[in-house]
Chain A
């Protein structure tokens, strides 16, 4: 049987957060929340873990720094040391003060772009991707909870409806779940 999904819509971030707290306390599993801007404090309530993109950024930063060091060590020390006013240029360490700016720039370049790319891929937000917010107003002023029946085995649709209606919703709708992306 195809999965069914209930979309419960709120018109305020605060009531949505309160509603989520109440529903979760009653054992309802909320699959996702669509909102026009981040609702602060909703992530732990609906069980969204904190993102690990920060670690990704760090890994890319280290990669960038290493590539930079390998690069200018080869160009300027191993392959062709340049004599500039007789300044020390025979070892990487002696010549390093001149390389500090590029080390920094390359680290930032890699960290920023690596993280941004990972962010796009993980979100599946890429040029031409279809959007899957249930209502157009989810990007304007409507906050919609997605509650899938397959995630809530202990409860029937009617029970869920009754529970959701206890919260400050403005609209509720049930339909077949269609995975867009």
Chain B
């Protein structure tokens, strides 16, 4: 089996068997929801309903209920849209980009991050629809034959590209997420006790049975979808930035927008993932799967993307001066010193300074601090969009039309409402869906699980340690007498060898402990040590000895251990002085 370097921190803490993983993820779904869940869900639902009320009022009365005016014709609506789309970028980044890079830590967080993505994109999609004012003719954004002559949508416009980008992104994310969910729904279905839940999860799981061919297809489909979703993530926010960048408004038409928006999206998306996961892991007792290391990895992503955003802000400032275009310069001077200076400087503080604190290991490994920063970043990124949109247009070419934007209660209600709906969706997800990718975690537990890495895991053949004998008994009872099926509960013979297997693995791990773990990637040619042939080299590699450095640390004690494991050529290693030879080879 594939081995991971010993210095990497384990991704799953403690000792977890396959059924422990199933148990840990399914328990919160099968049990009763805690009071805190009902309280949070109730509040979110109320806020969400208030938001829906505001939207209905808006649709019934008109866009005039928002605080927009002739000069500031885009404000909170598009700010919220871009903010939500940005948040919706982390999930697919985690599940697609990190899948292509084979980052195993993604497996603990991808499911919930993708759920967050989908719900965030729902909220984002709402804003362009309602800001058109007449939701019932929303289908006009699609190129469909119509009664108005040859009136097609404009394929040259970034606003139309947005329609295609967002709808593609949403549907592909849903499919990607759901394909991963199916095997886990099957796990819940096969454990379900109640008739209703068995039926519901039976439908949701699509009749998944875990055949080898299906897994083969599953892995390819996941990989191809990841390959498709990766450029999609980048394209979506690039296209959102085109909404501004292809215009001629000073402060908007900058070529830096696409990369800067994508970095900002990842930045805010990861911040939201942190906010949600830090609560989720605590509430659902998943600390063994989502622990400090995961938080640290995500904080590093926040730090890097936050720095990119910071560089982009400064570049914008510099270019606005360097371009020599006075309107462009004015737009930026007005941002920093005009009536919206407070928005600009909160954006600068929250987005540029706060992620820099993550350079300190202590801070980026502190959960409380991370939670605080994640909220700060979320607020900062909202201000970023507000600054870009409102401050660029509120003082235009004609001073007589300069104005300010003041949100009305409908503006506020719609925004707060989407936060409520988002959390209601997310809480419902956490209650009824497997929040961790059960099947995927099982594939990494033996590679990245703590007990397997430090050798404290009991041998796999140890049936005595299996605390789920209840389930196993059920399987034995299953066949009916009339099937005439001879049930053989066979404990495999050769118990003696089993013990020696276990003993052997114990010896191997104690040997590796003394010599230090090796790595197949930087293996040395052990055949250069006289007395080691290709066969013996293979045996040594199997044990985990790859480098001269490891061999050089061997003493009489280790020679004996090695002999007892391999059982070949006793005393030979010592006679040939492998350690001495290895030391010489190392210094060559």
Bound-complex Cα distance A40 to B98 (A): 20
Bound-complex Cα distance A135 to B190 (A): 9
A37 touches B442 (CB 8 A): yes
Q: Which of B143, B215, B220 contacts A37 (CB 8 A)?
A: B215
Q: Which residues of B contact A32 (CB under 8 A)?
A: 211-213
0/1 per residue, A49-69, Cβ < 8 Å to B? Answer: 011011001000000000000
A75 touches B155 (CB 8 A): yes
**B172 near A: Cβ within 8 Å?**
yes
One of A21-29, A105-113, A147-155 contacting the partner: A105-113
Q: Which of A11, A37, A79, A140 contacts B460 (CB 8 A)?
A: A11
| Residue of B150, B212, B217 with most partner-chain A CB within 10 A | B212
Chain B residue at minimal CB-CB distance from A51: B217
| Residues 118-166 (chain A) with a chain B CB within 8 angstroms | 119-120, 122-133, 135-142, 161, 165
Q: Which residues of B contact A53 (CB under 8 A)?
A: 217, 220-221, 224
**B135 near A: Cβ within 8 Å?**
no
Minimum Cβ distance to chain B for residue A9 (Å): 8
| Residues 137-192 (chain B) with a chain A CB within 8 angstroms | 143, 150-156, 158, 160-161, 164-165, 167-168, 171-172, 175-176, 179, 182-183, 186-187, 189-191
**Given A14-B460, A105-B165, A122-B217 contact (CB < 8 Å):** yes
**B208 near A: Cβ within 8 Å?**
yes
**B196 near A: Cβ within 8 Å?**
no
Minimum Cβ distance to chain A for residue B90 (Å): 19
B209 touches A37 (CB 8 A): no
| Residues 204-232 (chain B) with a chain A CB within 8 angstroms | 204-221, 224-225, 228-229, 231-232
Minimum Cβ distance to chain B for residue A128 (Å): 5
Chain A residue at minimal CB-CB distance from B205: A131
**Given A108-B232, A133-B210, A169-B475 contact (CB < 8 Å):** no
Minimum Cβ distance to chain B for residue A54 (Å): 6
**Given A80-B150, A108-B172, A35-B225 contact (CB < 8 Å):** no
Minimum Cβ distance to chain B for residue A62 (Å): 14
One of B51-59, B331-339, B478-486 contacting the partner: B478-486
A129 touches B216 (CB 8 A): no
A101 touches B212 (CB 8 A): no
**B440 near A: Cβ within 8 Å?**
yes
Bound-complex Cα distance A125 to B204 (A): 10
Interface size on B, residues (CB 8 A): 87
Bound-complex Cα distance A27 to B533 (A): 33
A106-B164, A165-B488 given. 10 additional CB < 8 A pairs? A12-B461, A14-B460, A34-B212, A36-B210, A37-B443, A42-B212, A76-B152, A105-B168, A127-B204, A175-B479
One of B17-25, B288-296, B369-377 contacting the partner: B17-25
**B503 near A: Cβ within 8 Å?**
no
Q: Which residues of A contact B474 (CB under 8 A)?
A: 136
Chosen A-B contacts, 24 in total, with CB atoms closer than 8 Å, are A11-B463, A14-B1, A14-B460, A34-B210, A36-B438, A38-B219, A46-B212, A57-B224, A75-B153, A79-B150, A101-B242, A105-B165, A105-B235, A112-B225, A116-B175, A116-B221, A128-B203, A130-B207, A137-B190, A137-B471, A139-B187, A141-B17, A173-B479, A176-B483
**B398 near A: Cβ within 8 Å?**
no
**Given A37-B215, A38-B216, A43-B216, A101-B489 contact (CB < 8 Å):** no
Chain B residue at minimal CB-CB distance from A165: B490
Q: Which residues of B contact A140 (CB under 8 A)?
A: 18-19, 22, 187, 190-191, 471
| Residue of A36, A39, A50, A135 with most partner-chain B CB within 10 A | A36
**B286 near A: Cβ within 8 Å?**
no
**B239 near A: Cβ within 8 Å?**
yes
Binding site for A on B (CB under 8 A): 1, 17-19, 22, 143, 150-156, 158, 160-161, 164-165, 167-168, 171-172, 175-176, 179, 182-183, 186-187, 189-191, 202-221, 224-225, 228-229, 231-232, 235, 239, 242, 438-440, 442-443, 460-461, 463, 466, 468, 471-472, 474-476, 478-479, 483, 485-492
Q: Which of A54, A122, A135, A175 contacts B224 (CB 8 A)?
A: A54
| Residues 165-181 (chain A) with a chain B CB within 8 angstroms | 165, 167-176, 181
Bound-complex Cα distance A109 to B229 (A): 10
B461 touches A15 (CB 8 A): yes
| Residue of A32, A122, A136 with most partner-chain B CB within 10 A | A136
Bound-complex Cα distance A10 to B485 (A): 19
A72 touches B155 (CB 8 A): yes
Bound-complex Cα distance A12 to B443 (A): 11
Chain B residue at minimal CB-CB distance from A61: B228
Q: Which residues of A contact B213 (CB under 8 A)?
A: 32, 48, 51
Bound-complex Cα distance A2 to B156 (A): 65
Q: Which residues of A contact B183 (CB under 8 A)?
A: 36-37, 139
A82 touches B216 (CB 8 A): no
Chain B residue at minimal CB-CB distance from A5: B485
Q: Which residues of B contact A108 (CB under 8 A)?
A: 168, 172, 228, 231-232
Q: Which residues of B contact A89 (CB under 8 A)?
A: 156
B490 touches A95 (CB 8 A): no
A126 touches B155 (CB 8 A): no
A132 touches B175 (CB 8 A): no
A115 touches B207 (CB 8 A): no
